[in-house]
Structure 1
Amino acid sequence: MRERYPVLEVDITDLSHDGRGVARPDGKALFVTGGLPGERARVRLTSRHRHYDEGKVEELLRRSPDRVEPRCPHFGGCGGCALQHLPAERQIEAKQRVLAENFERIGKVSPREWLAPLTDQPWGYRRKGRLSVKWVDKKGKALVGFREDNPRFVADLGVCHTLLPEVGLRIEALSQLVGSLDARREIAQIEIAAGDATVALVFRTLVALDQADRERLSAFGRTHDLAILLQPKGPDSVHALWPERVELAFRVDGDQLELQFEPLDFVQVNAGMNQRMIVRALELLDPQPADEVLDLFCGLGNFTLPIARRVARVTGVEGEAGLVARAEANARRNGLDNASFHAADLTLDNSATPWARARYGKLLLDPPRSGAAGVLAHLPRRGTDRIVYVSCHPGSLARDAGILVERHGFELARAGVMDMFPQTAHVESIALFMR
């Protein structure tokens, strides 16, 4: 028989890095989904562990003055958001505390100056995303949404207020669309990819679709002005269904540059925040006409090309060859001949390669969640006196900050957070290191 855990009455004193309240009954940490600091609540335990327990608010006995009503009716069931019950200005404050704690605890460093947090629109910002799809016989419908807290289950959504409205307000319509297909059981996910002018949906299909299903999908695209693409196998199998040709692009750097991308390419999720982030990165990097700059984990040129407009030469390095090809094409398309790109696995030692042996006065890093420890084993070289580090994980940034300060003689001059993912506990940040 499954154990039914007890209900505890606790005071919530803190907010965890993943957006849960923290209580300490009898001194043991209890992570409380739906709880905020300053609240007293009846909490149902959901799991026990050796060093901590987990639970969920069943009843609030004292509310935090910061608590607001979640905008989304699915908040608490859908795993896509963690902080809708906290105002946006308090969310970003919490994220800055997470970054500061990681610097102190992991990197044993702190910035000389904190940057003002960067924020943008807190709703309808998400231009990239992956919706899971599951046909449920018992419900007689297709579930379309993000995963629940238990990732085995797809949240039964009717709306999503963090996605671009073109998609977020059409979740129910997408559910009905999938339910109308002969292959309703063979649609695994829907990838969202939006440029400035086009919003595309990529349907991951487990079987080849018959003509009737293809026509239903095309009609949906025409009705809602959405580009429809199919992915029957791996990423290389993505192809347009309607219209025949789909081009995705976004403009940056005061609309002076246009970057084209493929639907499954990595681009920054939040278009407005990306614009602000590029401006801040350039301010911190301080590019000058004679500078030689190295941009690592450069993707399709999001930072590289704005830098190229201001310096003598910039070199971009990226692990995915397809993104390197897109970056080179974007440089040509924008008339930039002082940007060169290389494909390399940046978790390995590339110190013998010509691009790594060259001299760069300035370095920009924008690594994945795992950070840049592999790169920092052999870079930066002498002569690099300024590094801008853009991070999507505060723990890896803090670890790498310790490496740059202790092993390479840099100072953590400035750092701050950027609200790339409002309503979630995701912490995006940026830091300036100076020799």
Structure 2
Amino acid sequence: MSTAATQPGSAGATHLAEIESIAAGGAGVARLDGRVVFIPRTVPGDSIQFRVSGDKGKFLVGELAEIASAGETRREPPCAHWAACGGCPLQQMTPESQNEAKSRIFLDTLARIGKIDLPAPPGMLTPPGPEFGYRMRARFQIKGGEIGFYAPGTRNLVPIESCLLVEEPVAEAATEISRLLRAEPASHGAEAVEITSLGEDTGEGAGLFLSPPGWRDRGKGALSRRTRRAWEAFGRANGWPLVAAGERSPEEPPAWTSRYELEDPDGEYASLSLEVSPESFIQPNRPMNRLLVKAVLDMAALPEGGNVVDLFCGAGNFALPLAGRSGRIGRVAGVEANPYAVRDAEANSRAAGLDNIHFIRCEAERVRSADILGALGGKAPDLALLAPPRRGALETIPLVMALGPGRIVYVSCNPATFARDAREIARGGYRLESALIAPMFPNSAHLESVTLWTREDSPAPD
């Protein structure tokens, strides 16, 4: 219902609405004259006044003007930068209601795009990790001599010296970098810096990964000598190793690595210590990643001597625990396109003393089934593990269907591409048995899930 007798797009008109739910990007969902309106910074149950800020044809975008009555799950956002930054669009909601919203988004997306109804609601990985101070890696933008994050959908920098989500070494480094940028103009020649905690102990410090100008858009570029010298002096003074994107080949040893531990309290695999270079992907939430790895192992339920193909294996986050599972594994083939991650995975497997794992440097969409079968000793995999980036794994599904594993475990970071892929997996003769939501990034709209699939001709799991 509208409070003004105007068309939805009329400039300055305010409208009254009640927020029904939360959409995938974190905005609240309301309706105006039968049309869906997405309104950021709201929570279900809010009665609000808003203005229409955009007409996208199929839906409207709204701007919050006033909260007339707050929903039960609303809270005061702890971060002073919350409204401008946009990195935590759910911070105005309690942690419990954030998880409930993400579960509904997962179910709705799976039904709408995948045309699949779960046999039971998705579970939640528990116990939940910390709400703040959980990110071991974060990328900060640099612009105009300031450090921060881009406002949503723009390249307008919101200056932020630190962030409530990051671990202590990352926060400390960000604060010092802000001081560097104010004091040394030569340091402005980097367009971004990714800061990573170097170990489990906060005293181990941080590593810096610099992006030269143009790296984001063109994937190439170099720091000027003047900029490089300024950052090198800064790194030495603080004991923080640094490297810039494009400065080393995959065959060269990394300038620094970040270490994290994978410990299984049930003792089903030996504790592992993984080293990840700055050019490789890393799951930034340590405690939640440990729970996620455990969930994958439980869903795998491998037979004695079972084989696994891990597509998009990265530095071995899942592949190594699977290979190290005592008495429960035959061979593991890991497929990864990033050459730096493959080098990390191979080094991690050697350090762990694992000789039943082989890594194939290739895009998962292009790898040959013959190469996978060769790595598995000529046997088909019992399990296919899919853990793709946000674009999903659609182009790999014909390969997975041809390999015919008894089980598929899919770790997703994008509910829309997962739902699309799920439809194809179901068409290939697999049924969705169970799903879990992993609250990997509290306060953000990011939704991580892990699902188990079995072949229709296989008995249902216990």
Q: Same fold (TM over 0.5)?
A: yes
Question: For 2:321, which of 278, 292, 306 is the aligned residue?
Answer: 306
The residue aligned with 1:180 is 183
Compared with structure 1, are the counterparts of its residues 165 and 56 closer, same or farther at alpha carbon in structure 2 (3 Å cutoff)? farther
Question: For 1:79, which of 86, 96, 99 is the aligned residue?
Answer: 86
State the Cα distance separating 1:10 from its structure 2 match. 2.1
Tell me, in whole angstroms, the C-alpha distance in 2 between the residues paired with 1:211 and 1:341. 34
- Please list, as runs of the form range in 1=range in 2, the aligned pairs for 1:282-431 lying within 5 A after superposition: 282-310=297-325, 311-348=329-366, 350-353=368-371, 355=373, 358-381=379-402, 384-407=405-428, 409-431=429-451
Query: CA offsets, 1:235-281, max 9 Å, x none?
Result: 5389xxxxx96342212133711111111210112111111100111
State the Cα distance separating 1:349 from its structure 2 match. 6.3
Tell me, in whole angstroms, the C-alpha distance in 2 between the residues paired with 1:115 and 1:295. 23
The residue aligned with 2:132 is 123
Question: Which protein, 1 or 2, shows the higher relative CO under an 8 Å CA cutoff with sep ≥ 6?
Answer: 1
Determine helix, strand or coil for the equivalent of 1:414.
strand
- Tell me if the contact between 2:272 and 2:321 (Cα under 8 Å) persists in the aligned partners: yes
The residue aligned with 2:295 is 280
The residue aligned with 1:221 is 238
State the Cα distance separating 1:175 from its structure 2 match. 1.4
Sequence identity percentage:
31
Tell me, in whole angstroms, the C-alpha distance in 1 between the residues paired with 2:27 and 2:155. 21
Tell me, in whole angstroms, the C-alpha distance in 1 between the residues paired with 2:153 and 2:405. 46
Per mean C-alpha deviation after superposition, the further-off stretch among 26-35 and 169-178 is 169-178
The residue aligned with 1:167 is 170
- Tell me if the contact between 1:235 and 1:264 (Cα under 8 Å) persists in the aligned partners: no
State the Cα distance separating 1:147 from its structure 2 match. 0.9
- Tell me if the contact between 1:66 and 1:86 (Cα under 8 Å) persists in the aligned partners: yes
Gaps of 5+ in 2: 1-9, 213-222, 265-269, 456-462
1:164 partner letter: E
Query: CA offsets, 1:116-154, max 9 Å, x none?
Result: 21231111111122100112xxxxxx3211111242201
Tell me, in whole angstroms, the C-alpha distance in 2 between the residues paired with 1:82 and 1:96. 16
The residue aligned with 1:138 is none
- Please list, as runs of the form range in 1=range in 2, the aligned pairs for 1:242-257 lying within 5 A after superposition: 246-254=256-264, 256-257=271-272
State the Cα distance separating 1:344 from its structure 2 match. 1.6
Query: CA offsets, 1:176-197, max 9 Å, x none?
Result: 2112113143121111122424
Determine helix, strand or coil for the equivalent of 1:430.
strand
Whether 2:36 is the aligned partner of 1:11: answer no
Compared with structure 1, are the counterparts of its residues 178 and 26 closer, same or farther at alpha carbon in structure 2 (3 Å cutoff)? same
Tell me, in whole angstroms, the C-alpha distance in 1 between the residues paired with 2:155 and 2:276. 31
State the Cα distance separating 1:288 from its structure 2 match. 3.6
2:27 partner letter: R
Tell me, in whole angstroms, the C-alpha distance in 2 between the residues paired with 1:349 and 1:257. 28
Gaps of 5+ in 1: 136-141, 239-243
State the Cα distance separating 1:324 from its structure 2 match. 1.6
Tell me, in whole angstroms, the C-alpha distance in 2 between the residues paired with 1:384 and 1:296. 13
Determine helix, strand or coil for the equivalent of 2:248.
helix
Whether 2:278 is the aligned partner of 1:263: answer yes
Tell me, in whole angstroms, the C-alpha distance in 2 between the residues paired with 1:285 and 1:302. 15
State the Cα distance separating 1:26 from its structure 2 match. 0.6
> CA-atom RMSD, angstroms?
2.4
Tell me, in whole angstroms, the C-alpha distance in 1 between the residues paired with 2:403 and 2:207. 45
- Tell me if the contact between 1:253 and 1:306 (Cα under 8 Å) persists in the aligned partners: no
- Tell me if the contact between 2:136 and 2:170 (Cα under 8 Å) persists in the aligned partners: no
Compared with structure 1, are the counterparts of its residues 148 and 339 closer, same or farther at alpha carbon in structure 2 (3 Å cutoff)? same
Tell me, in whole angstroms, the C-alpha distance in 1 between the residues paired with 2:391 and 2:257. 31
The residue aligned with 1:46 is 53
Tell me, in whole angstroms, the C-alpha distance in 1 between the residues paired with 2:361 and 2:228. 40
Compared with structure 1, are the counterparts of its residues 97 and 211 closer, same or farther at alpha carbon in structure 2 (3 Å cutoff)? closer
Whether 2:37 is the aligned partner of 1:30: answer yes
Compared with structure 1, are the counterparts of its residues 263 and 292 closer, same or farther at alpha carbon in structure 2 (3 Å cutoff)? same
2:58 partner letter: H
State the Cα distance separating 1:8 from its structure 2 match. 2.2
Per mean C-alpha deviation after superposition, the further-off stretch among 186-195 and 273-282 is 186-195
Query: CA offsets, 1:313-361, max 9 Å, x none?
Result: 1111112222122211211111000011111222236345453774111
Determine helix, strand or coil for the equivalent of 1:236.
coil
- Tell me if the contact between 2:277 and 2:341 (Cα under 8 Å) persists in the aligned partners: no
